[in-house]
Structure 1
């Protein structure tokens, strides 16, 4: 999670005084700031001798975060970027590549959903090596370290070993433990993680693949992807993997694909 100090170079008002004020309320990183009640923070700022400067710092923080998270300006720019810069990577399975019209698309977040023992991990691990993380906070640290390394490669114009595929297996095991209770902090962290993955995918032309498990959907006995409706809108592509354990045949179906037109009946 990026410390607030990293933003001081972009605006001097994020100085030691402002950071000390934030730290006194448990805010040490950008994620801490986003998860805090900003109305409450502004109310605390009102009680300080330098209230105007602290409130200006809060406003500047929001502006800096908005600029960093701003998407492409319009649909035509998105289409142009897709046609010019984004390519596909083979998944290693001809049937899956055909279904996805070429494979995993760079610049997009693809989710592979399936129950336990359906073959999600085997498909993922057969072609890459993994770095182990144990919780969502370590995941943020790892991804932000990766982002720094990728930016350094861009500045040094290093393309020989460009990262093309990033896999998170299994993202649900990192997110599920923080979703308990009625608070919104867990959901906010989940969304922040999703958008960080999408940002890495878009800015560095990486195909991002995450795996997710399934949960029961009531008395019908059907299953659905875990992590709920909030996560549902994050992936560009959602694939459902199922296995017939009688003959080990696997089936992949598309739940969502931003590049394909679906006919509604």
Structure 2
């Protein structure tokens, strides 16, 4: 497969007969589309439900924009509610509004202000600045999911943590003697929530210096945690980004696809 072809032409399934249509529809029930065509095509439909997907990359590579776009798209398309855990005050309703203006949802007959209010009612943003606050929010989420609590009339289907490394890096090798075990506890909780409640979990991770090239932070212990790891890079002076598979349960590493994010 030519990985440099446009997203619309790459990764398509065969539509030769009705059976292909049925199989494709059934497969897409297992995905939560991000609305970013390149990422969705690369992953065969979007974020896989029941799994943890990590976006890693250098600062300003487009990781946060991808998270915001995913949250806006899921809420706008009535797919469910989103819990967005913000570790760096990067979440902004005005950025969500700009994203909504770019989404191809013209068939939704509602004024912009009404649409924004509806979407924002389905995105719950929590500021989380340390590991202990993260544990508290995740425990509250588990209770809510067990009790089938809805947000804006919708079940939470997407959990975003931007960024997980901001919370975990300070406790590894620092003053917390149990830092690594705390990190593994976070990983177990996230994967349990994803599996038990069929959530898509999306986290971001920064890059650190490596031998010859930057590598994802948090070390080998965390490397085994994500089901899927994508590296995001941005073309200089552009809103065009590239997503590259570093790890996937089904797809080969190295595959890549370009996508555009709002400026």
Distance in 1 (CA, whole Å) between partners of 2:231 and 2:27 is 29
Distance in 2 (CA, whole Å) between partners of 1:201 and 1:211 is 16
Distance in 2 (CA, whole Å) between partners of 1:248 and 1:191 is 35
**1:180 Cα shift?**
2.3
Distance in 1 (CA, whole Å) between partners of 2:58 and 2:253 is 25
Does residue 96 (structure 1) correspond to residue 39 (structure 2)? The answer is: yes
In the other structure, the counterpart of 1:29 is none
Q: In the alignment, which of 200, 210, 216 is matched to residue 217 of structure 1?
A: 210
Larger RCO, structure (CA 8 Å, separation 6 or more): 2
Q: In the alignment, which of 146, 153, 158 is matched to residue 148 of structure 2?
A: 153
Larger strand fraction of residues? 2
Does residue 87 (structure 1) correspond to residue 42 (structure 2)? The answer is: no
Structure 1 unmatched ranges of 5 or more: 1-82
Structure 2 unmatched ranges of 5 or more: 1-25, 73-122, 255-263
Does residue 132 (structure 1) correspond to residue 127 (structure 2)? The answer is: yes
Larger helix fraction of residues? 1
In the other structure, the counterpart of 1:16 is none
Does residue 200 (structure 1) correspond to residue 143 (structure 2)? The answer is: no
What SS class does the counterpart of residue 198 from structure 1 fall into?
helix
Q: Bigger radius of gyration, 1 or 2?
A: 1
Distance in 1 (CA, whole Å) between partners of 2:143 and 2:62 is 33
Contact 1:85–1:205 under 8 Å retained in 2:
no
TM-aligned CA distance change 1:159 to 1:150, over 3 Å: farther
**1:84 Cα shift?**
9.4
Trace 1:2-13 onto structure 2 (pairs within 5 A).
none
Question: When the two structures are superposed, what TM-score results if normalisation uses the length of structure 2?
Answer: 0.62
**1:247 Cα shift?**
3.6
In the other structure, the counterpart of 2:136 is 141
Distance in 2 (CA, whole Å) between partners of 1:217 and 1:243 is 20
TM-aligned CA distance change 1:257 to 1:246, over 3 Å: same
In the other structure, the counterpart of 2:167 is 174
Aligned residues: 177
TM-aligned CA distance change 1:228 to 1:197, over 3 Å: same
Question: When the two structures are superposed, what TM-score results if normalisation uses the length of structure 1?
Answer: 0.61
Trace 1:4-83 onto structure 2 (pairs within 5 A).
none
**1:205 Cα shift?**
0.4
**1:244 Cα shift?**
1.8
Moved over 2 A (4+): 83-86, 157-160, 180-184, 246-249, 259-263
TM-aligned CA distance change 1:197 to 1:85, over 3 Å: farther
